[in-house]
Amino acid sequence: MVDWRQEIPSREELELLQLERLQSTLNRAYRQVKFYRRLFDRFNLRPDDIQDLAEVSKLPFTTRSDLSENYPYGMFAVPLRDIVRIQSSPGATENPVVVGCTAGDLRFWRELSARLYRSAGVGKDDIVQIILASGLNNWARDLKDGAEHLGASVIPASNLNFAKQLMVMRDYKTSVLVTTPSYAHHLVSVMDKMGLMAADLHLRRALLVAEPLPSSVRAEIEAGLQVSITTAYGITEVLGPGLAFSCPHSQGFHFSEDHFLPEIIDPKTGAQCSHNTTGELVLTTLSAVAFPLLRFRTGDLTELRADACPCGCPLIRLGDIVGRCDPIFSVGGIKIHPQQISTYIQEIVNGHTPRHQLHLKREEALAYLEIDIEVDETLFSDEVKCLEAIGRRLRRRLRQNFGIEARVSLVEKISAT
């Protein structure tokens, strides 16, 4: 098996590569993306004002609202004829997140995803089974492409229930499971109900993505599946997984600095933070041709660690994701803004927005959204079936648009919080 660290340049070479790619990205964004040209002009900046990596702080931020306002193609830096993939996801704004890729973009992303697998100890002799919710379809495709690029055999994501997934896992001799921490945790409980033992399977590794992994949950999954676990971090706005990944030492995520430039900022002031200080993760793409992002505010709270990892990789490390600095929350790895729920409720009840509360719940480790809606005078109906229809329509809308499960309760009064 090829050592994944061999493809990482030395620290000095890495910084030169970053600067070269940053300057190329800045020039392309300024020339080809009207949004960035207007933004640069507003701040009286030109691409050649950035002469070293530290000066990236001169650049203004890009936000999710910017992506929404330039929907669908306003952020593309190449003509549509050069785009070979257009993928969208619900996102956490009014409009979906639309990402375009050239053939070269897809090639580098497959290589990056393959690196993620190599760092986890996965090789071409492995059988990789992907189990992800429909709301993470783009991640499932990228993870499939990465495993295939590596030369492994792949069982792609499907809509089989968990018992059938375990049957496939056992009969097809799956050696690597790719899923979320919630799904992996739930699989352990389903195995117990089926009377299936870890010894009945051929699993040796699990790659867990899209959600944080608490140490207690990690221990239960390792014990229940008898696997070694690695994790990965990514965001939908740059395709998904592969931004950062853990190694077998599990001391943070190695950040793919050869393709992305990370920063940590104070979310209130926007000032850069020093290493080992918790703040908001901001990233700039260095290799993406079709969809460059400059100083994109992810909303994730974490830290950067420059101390050496025992594995010897020179890439800077990302700490655990400890929260968010915006109202966005995650249901099974799928990000949602509360305003999106309010909008759906308003549409369903004909323009009225009754008081409502959202609660993230779990049942047998699976996350779902609990929504309480206050039945006020405008909403009140003597027909119970009319009130029940509101819940059905809202559940269906969330399942179709996000791939998440919700339980809706109509209540007499919502207490103040």
Q: What is the pLDDT of residue 183?
A: 96
Q: What is the pLDDT of residue 385?
A: 65
**Choice between 236 and 15, residue whose per-residue pLDDT is larger:** 15
Residue-level pLDDT at 383:
55
Q: Which pLDDT tens digit goes with each residue over 302-330?
A: 999 988 888 888 899 999 999 999 999 99
Q: How confident is the model at residue 386 (pLDDT cuts 50, 70, 90)?
A: confident
Length of the chain: 417
Per-residue pLDDT, averaged over 226-248, amounts to 89
Q: Could you list the residue range(s) of the whole structural domain that residue 54 is in?
A: 1-324
Cα gap 360→287, rounded to integer Å: 36
Number of domains in the chain: 2
Asked whether residue 92 falls in the same domain as residue 207, the answer is yes
The answer, yes or no, to whether the previous bond of 292 is cis (omega within 30 of 0) is: no
Kindly state whether residues 143 and 178 are assigned to the same domain.
Answer: yes
Helices 137-150 and 103-119: angle between axes, nearest 10 degrees: 80
What tens digit of pLDDT does each residue of 133-179 get?
988 988 999 999 999 999 999 999 999 999 999 999 999 999 999 99
- Average the pLDDT over 237-254 and give the result: 86
25 with 164, same domain: the answer is yes
| Contact yes or no for 415/378 (Cβ under 8 A) | no
Q: Within this chain, do residues 271 and 342 fall inside the same structural domain, yes or no?
A: no
Residue 216 domain-assigned?
A: yes
Report the CATH number that the domain containing residue 360 is assigned in CATH.
3.30.300.30
| pLDDT tens figures, 268-312 | 999 999 999 999 999 999 999 999 999 999 999 999 998 888 888
What is the percentage of the chain residues whose pLDDT exceeds 70? 97
Whether residue 179 is found in the same domain as residue 231: yes
Which residues contact residue 25 at a Cβ distance below 8 angstroms, ignoring those fewer than 6 apart? Answer: 284, 285, 286, 288, 292, 294
Is residue 375 in a domain?
yes
Residue 384 has pLDDT above 70, yes or no: no
**Whether residues 279 and 399 fall in one domain:** no
Of 298, 324, 350, which residue sits at a domain end? Answer: 324
Kindly state whether residues 143 and 5 are assigned to the same domain.
yes
Q: Does residue 361 sit within a domain?
A: yes
Q: Tens digit of pLDDT for each residue in 5-50?
A: 778 888 889 999 999 999 999 999 999 999 999 999 999 999 999 9
- 3-state class (DSSP) for residue 42: helix
Give the DSSP per-residue string, 175-209. -EEEE-HHHHHHHHHHHHHHT--GGGS---EEEE-
> Which CATH number belongs to the domain containing residue 128 in this structure?
3.40.50.12780
Is 79 inside any structural domain?
Answer: yes
pTM for this prediction: 0.92
In this structure, the answer to whether residues 117 and 188 fall within a common structural domain is: yes
Q: Cα–chain-centroid distance for residue 417?
A: 30
Whether 330 maps to a domain, the answer reads no
Residues 306, 399: one domain?
no
Q: Which residue has the tokens 């559940």?
A: 395
Q: Stretch 328-335: mean pLDDT, rounded? A: 90
Does 220 map to a domain?
yes
Q: Which of 257, 291, 324 is the last residue of a domain?
A: 324
173 within some domain: yes
Q: Assess if residue 320 is contained within a domain.
A: yes
In a shared domain, residues 405 and 265: no
Q: Same structural domain for residues 271 and 395?
A: no
Which of 259, 299, 239, 242 lies closest to 99 in space, CA to CA? 239
Residue pLDDT, tens place only, 81-108: 999 999 888 767 778 889 999 999 999 9
Residues 192, 290, single domain; the answer is yes
Query: Using one digit for the tens of pLDDT, what is the confidence trace for 166-211?
Result: 999 999 999 999 999 999 999 999 999 999 999 999 999 999 999 9
- Domain stop point among 293, 324, 355: 324
